[in-house]
């Protein structure tokens, strides 16, 4: 059955791979974008909606457009995220709060708005994209790791709050994935990371998309409040 799916940050990287996986499965897929050409994005079969998730008004407008064209969102993938890496002593308050505002509060904004329709429908699937570093920690990424760890408490609280309404909340925690976000790392940093990964390589975005697609499928109907690592074994033990 074709569902109304929303993937935030579906214009590139992991979000694009997730959105494409849902299109291939026959769903009606909306994505949010800030950069990029919507005409190009729509060639993938998406409804491309301009939206900055740090702005509640833009989130509201995006949902109105999606609801008009695809109906209420039944599957939400909160994927949009940013890094602003810096050691603590050099990290400004703005570096900290802006990352939290996108990764954690931005997720709150889109999840809260999606839940309006999900409560009415008495069903829904929400998947949040966290990171292995949310649980492992990462020097120079205190802001990012805090935001990604926050998503776990957020999802697990909502799993308890809304389980009786047949809405599931799960978290996917990727390891290092080949995207623009990791393209800024030097060859030396990359080699250092890969040496810690049991599978000995980065993930491809499609490997993250496969886990998300599963959590949104009927096969995952009894899974909620879970944190699924897709990290090549990097985070084993947390």
Q: Which residues bind ligand NDP (CB under 6 A)?
A: 8-9, 11-15, 32-35, 52-54, 79-82, 102, 106, 129, 131, 174, 176-177, 179-182
Q: Residue 15 or residue 150: which is nearer to ligand NDP going by CB?
A: 15
Q: Residue 169 or residue 176: which is nearer to ligand NDP going by CB?
A: 176
Respond yes or no: is residue 63 known to be catalytic: no
Q: Residue 132 or residue 220: which is nearer to ligand NDP going by CB?
A: 132
Helices 106-121 and 142-162: crossing angle, nearest 10°?
A: 20
d(CA 112, CA 124): 12
The tokens of 109 are what? 């904004």
Q: Compute CA 231 distance to the chain's CA centroid, rounded to the nearest angstrom.
A: 15
Q: Residue 174 or residue 232: which is nearer to ligand NDP going by CB?
A: 174
Which run of H or E residues covers position 106? helix 106-121
d(CA 30, CA 33): 10
d(CA 235, CA 238): 6
The residue ranges of DSSP E strands in the chain, in sequence order, are 4-7, 28-33, 47-50, 75-78, 124-129, 167-174, 227-230
Least distance to ligand NDP, CB of residue 122, Å: 29
Return phi, psi of residue 126, to 5°: -125, 125
Catalytic residue IDs? 144
């Amino acid at each position: 059955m074709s569902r109304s799916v929303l993937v935030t940050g579906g214009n590139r990287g992991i979000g694009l791979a997730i959105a494409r996986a849902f299109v291939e499965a026959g769903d009606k897929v909306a994505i949010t974008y800030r950069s990029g050409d919507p005409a190009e994005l729509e060639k993938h079969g998406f409804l491309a909606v301009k939206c900055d998730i740090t702005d509640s008004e833009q989130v509201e407008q995006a949902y109105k457009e999606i609801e008009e064209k695809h109906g209420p969102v039944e599957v939400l993938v909160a994927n949009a995220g940013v890094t602003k890496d810096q050691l603590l002593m050099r990290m400004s308050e703005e570096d900290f709060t802006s990352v939290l505002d996108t990764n954690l509060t931005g997720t709150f904004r889109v999840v809260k708005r999606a839940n309006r329709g999900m409560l009415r429908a008495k069903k829904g699937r929400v998947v949040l994209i966290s990171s292995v570093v949310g649980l492992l920690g990462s020097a120079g990424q205190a802001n990012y790791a805090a935001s990604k760890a926050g998503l776990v408490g957020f999802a697990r609280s909502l799993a308890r709050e809304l389980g009786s309404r047949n809405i599931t909340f799960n978290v996917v925690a990727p390891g290092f994935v080949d995207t623009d976000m990791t393209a800024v790392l030097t060859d030396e940093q990359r080699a250092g990371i890969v040496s810690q990964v049991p599978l000995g390589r980065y993930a491809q975005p499609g490997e993250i998309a496969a886990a998300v697609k599963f959590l949104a499928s009927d096969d995952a109907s009894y899974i909620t409040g879970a944190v699924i690592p897709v990290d090549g074994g990097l985070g084993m033990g947390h």
